[in-house]
Structure formats: structure tokens, C-alpha cells
Amino acid sequence: MHILLIEDETDLRVLAASGLERRGFAVDAVPTLAAAHDCLAVSRFDAAIVDRRLPDGEGLSLLPLLARHGVPALVATAFGDVEDRIAGLDAGADDYVVKPYDLDELAARLRALLRRPGQRQPPVLAQGPMRLDTGAQQAWLNDVPLDLGRREFALLRLLLEAMPGVVIRDIVQDRLYTLDEAVSPNALEAIVSRLRKRLAPGGFFIENWRGIGWRLVIGEEP
């Protein structure tokens, strides 16, 4: 799950971003509305966490743009400030989270948000003997849980969503890595290769479309 975090307090931003990444999310963390606009122009996000008091304006002003991109929003509010919370929800926020964040609660609220009806992705993707729960962040092959790294899981999700089509390499790169991480082509190949090995015993293989991307196919590797 790719999260956009907008928070101008550096310590909190770094803490929340690293905490969410340890809990399986990919996070782009930015300090201003302007930087959030830039991110939304180039990347797709599954949810956003929006602080209200930002150096270049009120965080709630971002909600209509997030809605146009189909990105559900959690508004961050100060502890105990009921009016803040009401204003956020009235302005179209999907949920709120109290600062400073309890990271386990924040992760749970994000998962709950992404499970709600009306969100873009179905909660469970299934193809043949493969099942992937996008909310629980778990995949099973022949009912056996797959122990996958965060990026292997994200790649598997993209491949399943695209079946029987090809996932474009740039999209994989965009979804597996945040904007400020440099990605070598070898790193992507290594993730594909690890996932390919994990899926082969279950009768799935990942076709390489040279220079274009990858496709998940049911069957033996030819």
C-alpha cells in the first residue's frame, strides 16, 4: 500500500514514515501542500495522511484534490481537539488520527480505510490457487501462507491485478519504491527473481516482457 504522508514537523514525519514502512507500507513523506501536489501529479497512492496546519496552508484544502484522485484521506488532529476532528470529517476526510500517532493504530486505521466498500481495490484478489488479501497484507498459495517481503508482496499484488495483462516496468518501480529512493534496474530484477522462485512450486510463473514489464501466468515455465 502506497501512502502519502503530509506533515511539517520533521521528527513526527520521519518517525511515522519509518514506522509505517516497518509495518509494510510504502510511504512518500512531504512537509508542504506544494510537495503533496507534486507527488499526486506523478504517483498513485492508496491513502493519504494529512496534517492541518502546514507552512503553505490548511491541510483540509487538499481533500478535494485527493478525492478527485480517488485517494482516501486520514486527517491528523491534535489530541483531544474535538472541533478539529469534526471540521476534518465535515470537510470530507474519511477518518482522523490523533497526534502524536500511535503507529499500530495508524496502521490499523489505514488498513480499515482500504477495506471499506467503494475503495478502488477489492479486498481479496484470487487467481487459481492464489489468494491475496490487500487489507491483511497476506497472500496464500494452495492455502499455504506466503512469507513475502514488502516489495515482493507489492509486486505480486500488481501482477494479480493486471492478470492476464502485463504490468509496465515504470509502474512497478513507482509502486515498489518511494520517490526519494534510487532504484537500480538490478534491484527490480532481483525482486522479480525472488518472487518467481516463491511462486514456481505453486504452478505460477512470471513472464519477462523485455523492456516492457512482467506478466503473471498460471502454469509451468515453458
Among the residue ranges 41-49, 52-60, 67-75, 159-167, the one whose residues contact Ca ion (CB under 5 A): 52-60
Nearest to Ca ion of 22, 53 (CB atom): 53
The alpha carbon of 109 is separated from its chain's Cα centroid by a whole number of angstroms, namely 13
84 is a site residue for Ca ion (CB under 5 A): no
Residue nearest to Ca ion (CB): 53
Nearest to Ca ion of 37, 197 (CB atom): 37
- Beta strands 95-99 and 73-78 are parallel
SS3 content of the chain, % helix, strand, coil (to 5): 40, 25, 30
Cα–Cα dist 196/159, whole Å: 11
Among the residue ranges 7-15, 31-39, 114-122, 153-161, the one whose residues contact Ca ion (CB under 5 A): 7-15
Cα–Cα dist 196/162, whole Å: 16
53 is a site residue for Ca ion (CB under 5 A): yes
Nearest to Ca ion of 7, 94 (CB atom): 7
CB of 99 to Ca ion, least distance (A): 9
Nearest to Ca ion of 79, 164 (CB atom): 79
Chosen residue from 8, 38, 81, 207 binding Ca ion by CB under 5 A:
8
Under 8 Å CB-to-CB from 110, ≥6 apart: which residues? 1, 3, 20, 25, 47, 49, 74
CB of 57 to Ca ion, least distance (A): 11
Q: Is the dihedral of CA 2, 74, 93, 75 positive or negative?
A: negative
Cα–Cα dist 31/136, whole Å: 29
Cis peptide before 164 (omega within 30 of 0): yes
CB of 193 to Ca ion, least distance (A): 42
Chosen residue from 1, 25, 40, 51 binding Ca ion by CB under 5 A:
51
Q: Are 53 and 59 in contact (CB under 8 A)?
A: yes
Among the residue ranges 2-10, 69-77, 150-158, 179-187, the one whose residues contact Ca ion (CB under 5 A): 2-10
CB of 51 to Ca ion, least distance (A): 5
- Which residues form the interface with Ca ion (CB under 5 A)? 8, 51, 53
